[in-house]
Structure 1
Amino acid sequence: MAFPNTVFVFTLFSFLSLLPSTESVLTPDYYSKTCPKFHDVLQTVLSGKQLSNPTTAAATLRLFFHDCFVNGCDASLLIASTAFNKSELDADSNMSVAGDGFDLITRVKTALELECPGIVSCSDILAVSARDLVVMVGGPFYEVPLGRKDSRESSPVNVDKSLPKALTPMNDLLALFASKGFSVEEMVALVGAHTIGFSHCKEFANRIFHFSKTSEVDPAYNPTYAQGLRKLCHNYTKDPAMSAFNDVYTPGKFDNMYYKNLQRGLGLLSSDQAMVTDPRTKPFVDRYAANQTEFFDMFGRSMLKLSLFMVKENNDGDVRRRCDQFNTIQI
């Protein structure tokens, strides 16, 4: 399988050599015998979806983050609520997760069930889809081990406190990532995913409307940029769908422009812009802004690490027949 625009390849084996010995069964060729066309089927669906809906890459990447940060990479976020069970989707933090990601996973799962029924987990589909879509829009390739099982639980409890938000103070952001085993350097690299996608106006409205008693807009913004955002979001309270690209220059390309934008006062969210002023994060912002290869290197390493976070294996979970439903009714 070819991955164009690849700058960095970090193998699973070199990563696992840094970790303590485990009984993990995850391996890149997990489906080589049980579903040999896994990657071919997935690539066909991904390519068609991304071409028809260019926001799919960003939506799927965000879906992956929101799933993994809450109890690990186990596809628990994909579960739809029922009369018997409220799922992670009911949490406030997940209300704005775009539907393109969910639609993609449903399409891939349907195609794979026709090819090799009951074999490929939804959590593996999500992990590989996020990686492949990053590559499709210009980002780095990194190896994704396979063999995850899907969670048998999904609850909105504790979701909101497990996910970073636009207004989360830097101390809390660093503590949140640290609690999941990520260093400051890894956090700054992972947040670089904002180089693609968009944010709704309500997420940064506090910075462009009535920011303080002395300034209508956040002075950390580039003034021209701030005025453009004010015009764009002027009616956001009546139209919650109003949004702006996270990266104003190359919104559809995975590159290091996000970090360069932060240096120019073009960071859309408060939590973004704070990284270029906080002395703990600024050195990494500057490093990734100056060297895209270093950004891709650390992003790939950090994504691989995230993809292994609290995964379910063996009998700890299921291979769901449908990604939005448990195999057995939850009562």
Structure 2
Amino acid sequence: MKGYRRALLDGMLFLLMIMLFVPVVHAAGSPPLRFGFYTRSCPGAESIVRRTVRRAVSHNPGIGAGLIRLHFHDCFVRGCDGSVLLKSLPGGPKAERDHPANNPGLRGFNVISKAKRRIERTCPNTVSCADILAFAARDSSQILGRINYPIPAGRRDGNVSSFNEVTQNLPSPRLSADQLIQNFARKGLSADEMVTLSGAHSIGRARCSSFSDRLYNFNGTQAQDPTLDRNYAASLRATCPVNGGSDPTVAMDPATPNRLDNRYYAELRAGRGLLTTDQTLAESPATRGYVDVNARSYGVAWAGKFGRAMVKMGSIDVLTGNQGEIRRSCSLVN
């Protein structure tokens, strides 16, 4: 009973803190994002996105993880402006989605396009692709982790997508904790928020090539990363042979691979973080405390932190007001 009352209190505090959250917009003089932005102009927008996402995730739970990752990759390059959704045009410069960090790994483009087409039939030229992507990431969090948080909206779509800016902005899967802290700080996110957002790695999959250096020829004296649990490393080697011709994928979280939860942090403490950027969070003095707190948190308490961090991330360098445009197709500028 005591645990139930604590969980209930945590849930009430989560809702209160979300309601008190003040959306951040970094462009001076532009109107802020706000809750209920489409209440009058397109009242069914969020419901359409939710139904589209739910249908897609019911057929393939991995799509939910893909949509959360898609939102992250969008926001870290040029801000949350839907630029990651744009396709490269023949004869033109390459777009973000063709960068090796995004292709072939990113998923969920078709889900966003389907939601956009359905919304356009009801509310043409009204709802941005950037907002649809933010809603879809939220809905994926709710479906896979029962993490539901209100999303302020009013984002506009950018009309530029730069291949080269991906390398400059997205964190590599081999960064140290200090490098991750610096990378996220440039986007206005704290070390605590960085560790919290990393919890999205409790779902989804990663290609062997993104972590195989931890299994073979780790350094001049050790073949395997010593921070890896031996049994976990053995299971990874079985899937990722040293001279494998293909590049298979492995679940990011070996414990609850299809549930967005804080079990991820307990796995880190046990040496079962898949990527270097995962395990370094538990090894570095700069982030270890945040990992410990998140691992011990009630599920609702961590869900609250995750929701608030997602809202803040979704406000990075947004376009609002008369900036950008409302694309008619999410993959092409008007």
Same topology, TM > 0.5:
yes
Q: Which residue does the alignment assign to 2:3?
A: none
Separation in structure 2 between the aligned mates of residue 9 and residue 236 of structure 1, nearest angstrom: 50
* 1:106 aligned residue (105, 113, 119): 113
Letter in 2 for 1:56: I
* 1:267 aligned residue (273, 276, 280): 273
Which shows bigger deviation, 308-317 or 291-300?
291-300
CA contact (8 A) 1:149 1:311 kept: yes
Q: Which residue does the alignment assign to 1:282?
A: 288
Q: Which residue does the alignment assign to 2:99?
A: 91
Letter in 2 for 1:277: E
SS of 2:206's partner is strand
Q: Which residue does the alignment assign to 1:227?
A: 234
Give the 3 Å change call, closer, same or farther, for CA 89–279 of structure 1 in structure 2: same
| TM-score (norm: length of structure 1) | 0.91
Which shows bigger deviation, 162-171 or 52-61?
162-171
Separation in structure 1 between the aligned mates of residue 24 and residue 330 of structure 2, nearest angstrom: 33
Letter in 2 for 1:190: L
Offset at residue 170 of structure 1 (A): 2.2
Q: Does 1:238 align with 2:245?
A: yes
SS of 1:189's partner is helix
Q: Which residue does the alignment assign to 2:192?
A: 185
Q: Which residue does the alignment assign to 1:247?
A: 253
Give the 3 Å change call, closer, same or farther, for CA 308–265 of structure 1 in structure 2: same
Q: Does 1:300 align with 2:296?
A: no
Q: Does 1:26 align with 2:36?
A: no
Separation in structure 2 between the aligned mates of residue 155 and residue 274 of structure 1, nearest angstrom: 29
Letter in 2 for 1:216: A
* 1:73 aligned residue (57, 75, 80): 80
CA contact (8 A) 1:148 1:312 kept: yes
* 1:256 aligned residue (234, 258, 262): 262
Aligned Cα root-mean-square deviation (Å)? 2.2
Separation in structure 1 between the aligned mates of residue 197 and residue 66 of structure 2, nearest angstrom: 15
CA contact (8 A) 2:262 2:295 kept: yes
| TM-score (norm: length of structure 2) | 0.90
CA contact (8 A) 2:177 2:286 kept: no
Offset at residue 17 of structure 1 (A): 8.1
Stretches of structure 2 lacking an aligned partner (at least 5 in a row): 1-7
Which shows bigger deviation, 207-216 or 276-285?
207-216
Q: Which residue does the alignment assign to 1:120?
A: 127
Offset at residue 210 of structure 1 (A): 2.1
CA contact (8 A) 1:70 1:163 kept: yes
Separation in structure 2 between the aligned mates of residue 200 and residue 82 of structure 1, nearest angstrom: 28
Identity %: 35
Separation in structure 2 between the aligned mates of residue 189 and residue 155 of structure 1, nearest angstrom: 28
Offset at residue 169 of structure 1 (A): 2.3
How many residues were matched structurally?
Answer: 321
Letter in 2 for 1:238: G
Separation in structure 2 between the aligned mates of residue 145 and residue 248 of structure 1, nearest angstrom: 33
Give the 3 Å change call, closer, same or farther, for CA 271–154 of structure 1 in structure 2: same
Separation in structure 1 between the aligned mates of residue 289 and residue 88 of structure 2, nearest angstrom: 43
Residues 173-207 of structure 1, C-alpha deviations (whole Å, 9 max, x = no match): 11111111111111100111101111110011001
Stretches of structure 1 lacking an aligned partner (at least 5 in a row): none
CA contact (8 A) 2:23 2:152 kept: no
Letter in 2 for 1:40: S
Offset at residue 103 of structure 1 (A): 1.2
